[in-house]
């Protein structure tokens, strides 16, 4: 392409703030539940993450694991954590502080009562035998529930990004 044929790009991939999820899309992503990447730090300061199932309720995330998992003492020592959700081209990243709830803690029985039903989706499908058993299996003696009061850092919608890019390509082609 010669200099007189060169079309200067008008696309700004530096500022993607218009690609944010809107409030309704974010609520839909959170209400769907499913899996997230739960992140914490090691004592050496390295970030670590695992994929876990989550429930979002009253602005908080709830996950679960066996008490023997390394994240449990790490979170007790350093509660700062992050949660990343990615589903269907919609992404949201949160940061906050986590609290580990264990059997014997005040309110644990009430917490596990609604959480295990919700995580297993027994609350939506109470007659499903698989879900009944899943909820029962979750209720093991050394299982903890991690509650994370997280604040949104960034939420991104790839459909908006695609639309933005398609419009830029069309505009560039029209100028050529």
Unique residue bearing structure tokens 């995580």: 119
pLDDT mean over 117-129: 95
Neighbours of 68 (CB within 10 A): 9
Of 93, 29, 96, 100, which is closest to residue 63 (Cα–Cα)? 100
Q: What is the pTM of this model?
A: 0.84
> Could you tell me the domains of the chain?
19-175 (2.30.110.10)
Q: Which range, of 3-17, 28-42, 90-104, 151-165, averages the lowest pLDDT?
A: 3-17
Question: What does the DSSP 8-state code read for residue 107?
Answer: T
**% residues pLDDT > 90 (the chain):** 72
pLDDT at 11: 64
Burial of 108 (0-12, 13-18, 19+ CB in 10 A): middle
Chain segment 56-88, per-residue pLDDT in tens = 999 999 999 999 999 999 999 999 999 999 998
Chain segment 7-37, per-residue pLDDT in tens = 445 566 676 777 789 999 999 999 998 999 9
State the SS3 of 31-75. HCCEEEEEEEECCCCCEEEEEEEEEEECCEEEEEEECCCCHHHHH
pLDDT at 23: 92
Query: How many Å apart are CA 37 and CA 153, to the nearest integer?
Result: 14
């Amino acid at each position: 392409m010669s200099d007189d044929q060169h079309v200067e790009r008008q696309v700004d991939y530096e500022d993607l703030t218009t690609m944010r999820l809107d409030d309704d899309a974010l609520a839909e992503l959170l209400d769907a539940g499913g899996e997230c990447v739960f992140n914490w730090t090691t004592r050496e300061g390295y970030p670590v993450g695992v994929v876990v199932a989550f429930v979002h309720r009253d602005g908080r995330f709830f996950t679960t694991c066996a008490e023997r998992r390394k994240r449990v003492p790490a979170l007790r020592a350093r509660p700062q954590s992050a949660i990343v959700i990615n589903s269907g081209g919609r992404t949201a990243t949160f940061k906050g502080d986590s609290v580990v709830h264990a059997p014997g803690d005040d309110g644990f029985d009430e917490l596990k009562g609604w959480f295990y039903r919700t995580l297993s989706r027994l609350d939506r499908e109470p007659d499903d035998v698989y879900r009944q058993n899943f909820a029962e299996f979750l209720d093991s003696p050394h299982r903890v529930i991690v509650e994370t009061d997280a604040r949104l850092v960034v939420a991104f919608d790839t459909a908006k990004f695609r639309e933005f890019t398609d419009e830029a390509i069309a505009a560039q082609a029209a100028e050529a």
